[in-house]
């Protein structure tokens, strides 16, 4: 028994050591980003390069610039507005579709669902050319509104797919009882299905939020005005202009952009895991 315990302890120690090593690898780039954002721009090509800035060289000047000189607030608001609109629209449209496709099965709904899932295979960026043409035809170029319907349409297949699983698990007996009481479809959807599927909707919404918050190719293609830029384009815009890059600004803005995401992630960790695993275990 004793040797078995020793083996267990040894295995646990190895596990923790490996995990700790992994943690270092996962966090080093982030720590370097934060440390770079805290040193003056002039020190970025200093010699020798340092992982941590000198204590006396620590400065908040990059943050000061980003918060006061750039259009950070505007970009932040744009990003927030686009992301929130996307998740609300996607939750409404996706859950309604999932309810119908999950609970009123017929050949038609099966074909429809198959088709929706099929479109998930196509990488979004491949459609950028016709989508840009569509946006210009609709007069949506350079409007924040050009982002919302496209993002929503992109996340609808995934949202429908995830929520449908939850909808299917709602016992038929509950619905039967409603029909007998004379309820109509909308009542059942709003009173029964939506509340029961709300955990799924919540976790899907977190993923949709991330998608919209970090999207780059489409926003970069369709938005022109600096004041209408969302955060990822604003960050990329700081980089590489006129053959010099103010890395301090780039990383200060990056840190500020990451804060809400990391907060949401840590607070909603449970929903994250639920959302991810719901799709994968069903396979």
Partner 1 sequence: MITKSRVNRIQILGLLTPGLLLFGMFTVYPIIRLFWMSLCDMSFSSMLTQPYAGMMNYREVFQDTTFWTVFINSVVYTLITVPGQMALGLFIAILLNGIRRFSVTFRVINYLPVVTSWVIASLVFRYIFNTEGLLNYFLWKILGITSSNIRWLDTRWSGLSVAMILGIWKGIGWNMVIFLAALQQVPQDLYEAAEIDGCGGWKKFTCVTLPAIRGTILFALIELTIGGFNVFTSIKMITGGKPAHQTDTLLTWMYYKAFSTGKFGYAAALSFVMALSLGLLAIVQFRMMRNKNE
Partner 2 sequence: MRTFKKILAVMLACMMLLSAGSALAEGEAVTINFWHHYSAQSAENETLMNVLIPAFEKENPGIKVNAVSHEWAELHDKILVSANSNALPDVARCDIAWLPEFQKMGVLVALDEAMPDFAEVSGKLLDSAMSTAVIGGHYYALALNTNSKIVFYNKAMLEAAGVEVPVSMDAWIEAVKKLSGENANGQQVWGWNEPALAGWNICPFIWSFGGALTNEDQTVATGYINGSETVKAIETFAELVKAGAITGFNAGDIPMTDGFGTGRYAMMLEGPWKSAELAGAYPDVAYGTAPIPAGEGGSISVLGGEDIAMFNSANKEAAWKFMQFMTSEYAETEMAKCGQIPVNKTALESETVKNADYAPFIEAIQTAKARPTVAAWSEMDNGLQVALHAVVTGEKTAQEAMDELASAWDALLK
Task: Classify 244 in phi/psi space as left (phi over 0), alpha (psi -120 to 50) or beta.
Answer: beta
**Tokens standing for 246?**
């103010």
Q: Shortest distance, CB of residue 36 to partner 1, whole angstroms?
A: 7
| Burial degree of 65 (CB within 10 A; 0-12, 13-18, 19+) | middle
Which listed residue (23, 225, 259, 277) binds partner 2 by CB under 8 A?
Answer: 225
Within residues 102-141, the interface with partner 2 by CB under 8 A covers 132-133, 136-141
Site for partner 2 in 3-62 (CB under 8 A): 41, 44-45, 47
Residue 244 contacts partner 2 per CB under 8 A: yes
Show the binding pattern over residues 28-67: x = contacts partner 1 (CB under 8 A), - = does not.
Answer: -xx-xx--x--------x--xx-x----------------
The yes or no reply on residue 261 touching partner 1 (CB under 8 A) is: yes
| 187 touches partner 2 by CB under 8 A | yes
What is the length of the chain? 283
Structure tokens at 172: 């038929």
Told to check if 222 binds partner 1 by CB under 8 A, we report: no
Q: Interface with partner 1 includes 196 (CB under 8 A)?
A: no
Q: Which is nearer to partner 2, 38 or 148 (CB)?
A: 148
165 near partner 2, rule: CB under 8 A: no
By CB under 8 A, name the one of 34, 35, 149, 216 that touches partner 2.
149
C-alpha to C-alpha distance for 142 and 21, rounded to whole angstroms: 45
Exposed/middle/buried for 112, CB within 10 Å: 0-12, 13-18, 19+?
middle
- Contact between 6 and partner 1 per CB under 8 A: no
Closest contact distance (angstroms) between CB of 88 and partner 2 is 9
Cis amide prior to 134 (ω within 30 degrees): no
Give kind and range of the element (H or E) at residue 163.
helix 147-168
CA distance 248 to 33: 9
Cα pseudo-dihedral 106, 108, 109, 115, rounded to 10: 140
CB 164 within 8 A of CB 102: yes
Q: Which does 100 bind (CB under 5 to 8 A by kind): partner 2, partner 1, none?
A: partner 1
Binder of partner 1 out of 186, 227, 242, 244 (CB under 8 A)? 186
Tokens of 274: 């639920």
Closest approach of partner 2 to the CB of residue 60, in Å: 20
Please report, as ranges, the residues that interact with partner 2 according to CB under 8 A: 41, 44-45, 47, 89, 92, 132-133, 136-143, 145, 149, 186-187, 190, 224-226, 237, 240-246
């Amino acid at each position: 028994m004793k040797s078995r315990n020793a083996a267990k302890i040894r295995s646990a120690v190895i596990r923790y050591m490996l995990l700790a090593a992994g943690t270092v690898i996962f966090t080093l780039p982030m720590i370097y980003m934060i440390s770079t954002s805290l040193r003056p721009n002039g020190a970025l090509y200093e010699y020798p390069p340092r992982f941590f800035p000198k204590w006396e060289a620590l400065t908040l000047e990059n943050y000061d610039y980003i918060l006061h000189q750039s259009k950070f607030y505007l970009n932040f608001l744009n990003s927030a507005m686009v992301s929130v609109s996307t998740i609300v629209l996607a939750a409404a449209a996706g859950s309604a579709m999932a309810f119908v496709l999950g609970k009123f099965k017929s050949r038609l709904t099966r074909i429809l669902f198959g088709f929706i899932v099929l479109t998930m295979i196509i990488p979004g960026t491949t459609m950028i050319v016709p989508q840009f043409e569509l946006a210009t035809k609709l007069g949506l170029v350079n409007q924040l509104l050009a982002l919302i319907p496209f993002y929503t349409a992109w996340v609808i297949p995934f949202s429908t797919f995830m929520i449908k699983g939850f909808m299917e698990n709602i016992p038929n007996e509950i619905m039967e009882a409603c029909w007998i009481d004379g309820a109509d479809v909308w009542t059942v959807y709003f009173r029964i299905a939506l509340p029961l599927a709300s955990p799924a909707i919540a976790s899907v919404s977190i993923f949709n939020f991330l998608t919209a918050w970090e999207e780059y190719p489409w926003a970069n293609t369709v938005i022109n005005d600096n004041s209408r830029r969302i955060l990822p384009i604003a960050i990329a815009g700081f980089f590489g202009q006129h053959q010099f890059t103010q890395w301090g600004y780039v990383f200060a803005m990056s840190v500020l952009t990451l804060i809400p995401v990391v907060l949401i992630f840590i607070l909603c960790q449970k929903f994250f895991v639920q959302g991810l695993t719901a799709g994968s275990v069903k396979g």
